[in-house]
Structures are given as structure tokens and as C-alpha cells.
Amino acid sequence: MYIVSSSPHTHSGASVQRIMLDVIIALIPAILVAIYSFKWDAARLITTCVVSCVAIEAACRKLMKRDPGIYDLSAVVTGILLAFNLPPSLPTWMAVVGCVFAVAIAKQLFGGIGYNPFNPALIGRVALLVSFPAAMTKWSEWIIPAPIGINAVTTATPLGLAKTAVATSGTLPYECTRDTIIQFFLGNMNGCIGEVSAAALLLGGLYLLYRKCISWHIPVFYITTVAIMATILWRLDPSRNLSPIIHVFAGGLMLGAIFMATDMVTSPVTQKGMIVFGIGCGALTMIIRKWGGYPEGVSFAILLMNGVVPLINRATKPRLFGKRK
């Protein structure tokens, strides 16, 4: 007898647990840089967020009378990514509150993994940013590339410092030199604990591409869109607009483009859709950075594009084989 069933008829051998383990492995370089840069604070936040996310997920699943669901490691990934989006000085209890928003509200309330329309870690970050703006924008002392004639500038992130300086004095506080680029690329700058090293994040992204956990379309078109828009603004007025290299390496762009925007659940499933999604994320990021009230726009850009993913999937759905247009 022939058994008729719906597709798929073959299995790649991949599993949710295996994919999440690959993501964790890809995040290890950034974890090491975070601990090296921020010491105890980074270890504290990463441990707190991972343990809290796993515990909250287990509790939610138990209340819903479902399987624990913690063995697929998705809660661990959510915890690490949420911690990566937090400033090193954030109090521990606030990090736990962010985990509640990320897991209980953004994930389990919609039915668990595979059903959440928005990236859980980013929901946790935005909830904290709205609820505790002072704590979420308080940075530890850090020496970043300084303006000419000044030895060092402390406490502010590169994007935050630039936005404040342009609003008050009308000019940028530092120049895009070779040393500046190297420092930003390697991770010698202030910021959220997981976004400071573009090199570590790129290394993790290459591993995910090698393991075929992500597609190149979203990161490439996301970063390219930011670079193009930043270049146009920089060419128009270099005294008030940051170099595109700084826009790419500073802030959460690398973290968002490689590990957040590529989330399988909250991103388009078609290649054309991924391109549209990446371009949209890049454009919104630059609009918020340039004209918005926040120096960083990655989180809001990705969440806004998450909301239109169903429309993107519908608009870019490929034509069925044998069916006329």
C-alpha cells in the first residue's frame, strides 16, 4: 500500500536542539570578548539571563501542562542574546524582568517556539529600555577614541556620544581614523556586553553560514543598506554624520544582523523576502539613528520588520510549478 502524506518527505537530519547548539557555539567568541572587556558584570548578566530564561520557560510550560521544552536549548539562546543586549551595569533584578518579558510574554504567550511573531530577546530589551531608560543607558567607564586634543572620553557609547555632540555642538566628537576603526572592529569600545566586538560576531556568523543555520541574504543586505545610507549622509555632511565604517562596526548592527534578524521563526522564508527584510531593517536602523530619539535603532528596526514578515512572505511567495501567473 502507498501512504499518501503531505510534504516534506525527507529530513535533513537537523533538529531544533542541534541548531540552537550551533548558535551557542557561534556566540562563544563574543562571550569571551564580553567577559574579557566587562569582567564580572558580563559573567553575571549572561548567567542570570540564561538561568532565568530556562527557569521561566520550564515554569510556563508546567502551568500550560505541556512538556518542559527546555531541552531544545532555545531558552539558553534567548538568555545569551538578551544578556548581549544589556549594558554591563544593569542590576540583576532588572535582567530577570527582561527575561520574563522575553520568555513568558514574547514566546510562551504565543504558544512557544515556532509561534512567536517577534524576536523574544529583543522584546525583552525593548521592554527594559521603555521601563528603565536610565539604567538601560547607563554605561561603565570606558576609554574610546577621543577628539583631537583630548586624551580620553569615558562612559558614553560611540553612537550615543556622537548623537549628543551633534545635537549640542553641531559637530562630531571624534574622527574616523585607522586606529578608531581597528579599536571598534576588535572591541575596544563601550556598549552592550555582546555588541562591542565586530570581529567576534563575524567569526560566529561565518560558523553559522558554514553550518547552514542562517542564509547570507539578511545579514548582507542589512549591513549593505546601512553602509549605503551612511555613506550618502557622510558625503553630504561629514562634520555631522559618522563614517559608514563606524556605523557598521559600532553599536548593535553586527549582533542584530547576524544573530537577531536571521531568527528562523521571525524572518521571511523566501530568498526574495529575506532581501526585502534585510533592506527594510537597514533603512529603519539608519532612519532611527539619524532622525530618531535613540542613538541606536537595531532593536526597533528588527521588531518593526518582524511585524510585516507575514506580508513579505505572501508577497514573495514563489509561483507553484505548472501554474500560470
pLDDT, one tens digit per residue, over 165-192 is 777 777 776 667 777 778 778 877 778 8
In a shared domain, residues 132 and 208: no
9 found inside a domain: no
One-letter amino acid of 297: G
The verdict on 31 and 79 lying in the same domain is yes
- Grid cell 562571550 — which residue? 31
Which residue segment(s) compose the domain that 55 sits in? 16-136
For residue 97, being part of any structural domain is answered with: yes
Residues 108, 217 share a domain:
no
Q: Let me know if residue 203 belongs to a domain.
A: yes
Final residue of a domain: which of 136, 166, 193? 136
Residue that terminates a domain, selected from 103, 136, 169 = 136
In a domain, 152, yes or no: no
pLDDT digits (tens, 9 = 90+) for 67-123: 877 888 999 999 999 999 999 989 999 999 999 999 999 999 998 888 999 999 999
* pTM confidence score: 0.88
Residue 294: pLDDT over 70: yes
Instruction: Quote the CA–CA distance of 173 and 242 in Å, as a whole number.
Output: 10
Length of the chain (residues):
325
Name the residue among 160, 129, 170 with its Cα closest to residue 295.
Answer: 160
Please tell me the distance from the alpha carbon of residue 49 to that of residue 4, in angstroms, as a whole number: 45
- Indicate if 90 and 194 belong to the same structural domain: no
Number of domains in the chain: 2
* Domain identity same for 24 and 125: yes
Q: Looking at the domain assignment, is residue 44 inside a domain?
A: yes
